[in-house]
Structure 1
Amino acid sequence: MGLFDLFKRQSELEQMYDYDLLESTSERIHMKRLAIQICVNLIARTISQSEFRVKNGKKFIKNELYYRLNVRPNKNQSASQFWQTVIYKLIHDNECLIIKSDSDDLLIADDFYRQEYGLVEDNFKSVTIKNYTYSRTFLMSDVIYLEYDNEDLSKLLNSLYEDYGELFGRLLEYQKYKNQIRSTVDTDDVQSKDPKKREKMQKFINDMYASIKSKAFAIVPQQKGFKYEEHSKPSGSGQTVDDINKITNGFLDQVAKAVGIPPALVHGEMADVEKHTRNFMTFCIDSLLKKIKDEFDGKFFSKQDYLNGNSMDIRRVTYRNMFDVATAVDKLRSSGVANGHELRDELGMEESDDPIHDKYVITKNYSETVEGAAEGGEKE
């Protein structure tokens, strides 16, 4: 009889496992993906506001290339969308390939294979754009190819996330454990083999769990042979949600530093915001624009054209307007340090046809003292 009782208890246990009494409420937190999105999108949005100008000597011209780079690169993208995609792929994938179609559209490759050589041009095969793959081979001189860094940023971030992610996951699981509602359900109906009866019991359990999760106050009706009891303990001291936020912000800071963004900018801090913005534009945005300018100068202009003064000029967005620097502009103009054209160029304005801007002007306050006159006096 003892052996029979053992078999009976095992049978009851197997039937009890058929009920879905435990429910997983865990969800995956994409801390790494969020940090990359925040940093890369900030850079992409900033560069997408730049103006790509074609310089012919001292004049800026508006031609087909200007239109493609600033208005409509291809039939399906605006210029801002195009450049956001370019910068995102450049930083996230460490490289970006742009080709020119037969209709002069500029297209961003989604996938390609690069064959590298030492003494001759590299070539690109299997260039894929959305659902179309080119059968032809593109030479390096036929495409715009940009590289972000010597080492793939995604590999560095993956290595960094291994440590942060493990710590983040442990803190998150602890918070779930500390605030978890733990309960048990006692039922006498573990030997029932009636499918309808078991289905009815399972539906009652599911409805009970749903009510407890979604409502601040949930009433569980007691039934014969069915008992629900909670065993949760009040949460004590220990790690808090602030600790989880510190881990997330710490990883975000490391990602921001890796791409050249001052961490204070991604956190929205207002203290010394002008200083942080200047560093961001100088060490992050300007370096990326320099990569783009060098590639454009080498692909859109021949060596002789470039030496004759033809080049690309990328005018990035500025965090100041002309009214903020009006006093400085006045000083530079009145002291004869710069003429009107030079100042207009620095302000992002086109050259004027007025010949007055060709002259260097020195006001009386900066002119030399006339011999025999008092300091600061005027010539009779």
Structure 2
Amino acid sequence: MGVFSSIKNFFVNSSDDSLDIEARPPIEKSSNERTVVFRESVNHVRYKSYALSIAISRIANAVSLCGFQTYIRGKPEKGDLWWRLNYEPNQNQNQTDFFYSLVHKMVYNSDGALVIQAKSGDLIVAESFTIEKYAFLPNVYSNIILPGGLSYQTKLKESDVIHLKYNNSKVKAIVDSVYEDYGKLLNDAIKNYKRGNAIKLKLLMDAQFDQFKEKDVLDEEGNVIGTEYDEILDDLFQKRFGAILSDKDSITPLEDGLTLSNVDATTGNTKSGAFTSRDITSIFDDIVNQVADAFLMPRGIFRGDVADNEGMRKSMIDDAVRPFIENIQTEINRKKYGKDEFYKGNKLKISTDLIYTKDPIAFANAAEAYLRIGVYCVNDILEKLGEEIIDEEWAWRHYVTKNYENINNAAEDIEKAVSNMMRALGRGEPSEKNST
């Protein structure tokens, strides 16, 4: 193996496997020529996917915490649809997994997510589908692929499916376009960090080492296959330098005329001149913030800050989660119940207040107010807290405090009080004019 071929292989083998490397073959005309290695820029899309996964997980988790309540003639009813939306949408997924798949498709697919209901009642999110859109006729869905690669052969009309589309369907395209620039910056920052922290050595060869060019190396048949100059350099780059660049202690012998020294390092991004990952972190933070803004999600909640900020929580639900909830609620009421049934009180209602009630202390004041004005009974509050209801008649009663007395009852109480006062003063019953 020639010396310059071995140098090329040394750099290629020690490089990052994820980088595309092109090497210009060595030219045998001059021993002074060196192989040039080019590295192409790589788009680190995994960072973008990571940020999108955070957004999808946060939204899906919030949706799964909501209360899905079905009603029959205006009264709560726990039937098959209630069970599927709260616990088991299909036999292979629980509620959390189902809504993650649903939100993922709504974000990544510009046409949204398609939910098919099997004959057994299972709700299944399609992997892919084709939609034929019409103006005055129902849309037609075809080429439907279900999980596991199952192809759904039948074409379905709009009324046969639950089609859920994120209001901001371009959010994925927006994130992609923004990331094109940030991805390049991130790639450069990673390369600079690796380059700045890499060991850079230069091998100095003086005239004393050139004497090895005159010493031929023969094969078993006595043919000249190279020189000791080439053989020594091959051994250096293939074996000895590996010990120097390893993280272990080592001693490497060098022939006379060879000297190793450090290459002058460029200044890093700190006062001491060292290279840190600060630039990479800053650019990644920008990517995370851009994704959070695209979903109208507070940056603090997106990043998992533990600071308790009621305003951020409210903004998260109203701006980021509610569009998904309203879409699901409207589409199911439209397709599963229809206008006539909806007017009869047969419907689905998705409540976001359960997201807050997971913290009993934070919900305590609101629960007391709801109970005091007769909105909730004791069992209603227990259900929202995820606790077991009390099987007693009094737990279903609704109460209203005296502070919220009916105006008609209050007028009767005033008239009785005035009448009693007049009799106590010996003036008899009050006249109609006086009582008024």
Using structure 2 for the length normalisation, give the TM-score: 0.70
Q: What CA deviation, in whole Å up to 9, does each residue of 1:73-124 have, x standing for no partner? A: 2232222211111111112224111112233322111111111111101111
Q: Return 24-33 or 84-93, whichever deviates more.
A: 24-33
Give 1:3's aligned residue. none
Counterpart of 1:330 in 2: which secondary structure? Answer: helix
How far the C-alpha of 1:136 sits from its partner, in A, is 1.2
Give 2:356's aligned residue. 319
1:33 matches 2:49: yes
Return the letter of the residue paired with 1:125: S
Return the letter of the residue paired with 1:115: E
Counterpart of 1:318 in 2: which secondary structure? Answer: helix
Q: Select the residue among 123, 128, 132 that pairs with 1:115.
A: 132
How far the C-alpha of 1:341 sits from its partner, in A, is 4.4
Q: What is the aligned-residue identity percentage? A: 22
How far the C-alpha of 1:288 sits from its partner, in A, is 1.0
Give 1:229's aligned residue. 260
Task: State which structure, 1 or 2, has the greater radius of gyration over its C-alpha atoms.
Answer: 2
Asked if structure 1 preserves the Cα contact closer than 8 Å seen for 2:367 and 2:381, the reply is no
Give 2:334's aligned residue. 298
Return the letter of the residue paired with 1:88: H
TM superposition outliers: structure 1 runs of 4+ over 6 Å:
186-192, 198-204, 349-353, 364-369
Give 1:362's aligned residue. 401
Give 1:132's aligned residue. 150
Asked if structure 2 preserves the Cα contact closer than 8 Å seen for 1:345 and 1:351, the reply is no
Distance in structure 2 (CA, Å) of the matches to 1:356 and 1:223? 89
Q: Select the residue among 12, 24, 31 that pairs with 2:15.
A: 24
Distance 1:245 1:224, change over 3 A: same
Distance 1:288 1:228, change over 3 A: farther
Distance 1:206 1:277, change over 3 A: farther
Return the letter of the residue paired with 1:44: A
Counterpart of 2:356 in 1: which secondary structure? Answer: coil
The residue correspondences of 1:42-191 to structure 2 (distance < 5 A) are 42-94=58-110, 95-129=112-146, 130-184=148-202
Return the letter of the residue paired with 1:78: N
The Cα RMSD (Å) is: 3.8
Q: Return 25-34 or 173-182, whichever deviates more.
A: 25-34
Asked if structure 1 preserves the Cα contact closer than 8 Å seen for 2:107 and 2:169, the reply is no
Asked if structure 2 preserves the Cα contact closer than 8 Å seen for 1:47 and 1:84, the reply is no
Asked if structure 2 preserves the Cα contact closer than 8 Å seen for 1:99 and 1:107, the reply is yes
1:278 matches 2:314: yes
Return the letter of the residue paired with 2:267: G
Asked if structure 2 preserves the Cα contact closer than 8 Å seen for 1:43 and 1:285, the reply is yes
How far the C-alpha of 1:155 sits from its partner, in A, is 1.5
Return the letter of the residue paired with 2:87: V
Q: Return 199-208 or 129-138, whichever deviates more.
A: 199-208
Q: Return 72-81 or 130-139, whichever deviates more.
A: 72-81
Distance in structure 2 (CA, Å) of the matches to 1:32 and 1:228? 45
Structure 2: gaps (5+ residues): 19-41, 218-224, 271-275, 418-423, 425-436
Return the letter of the residue paired with 2:124: L
Distance 1:345 1:330, change over 3 A: closer
Distance in structure 1 (CA, Å) of the matches to 2:160 and 2:173? 29
Structure 1: gaps (5+ residues): 1-10, 374-379
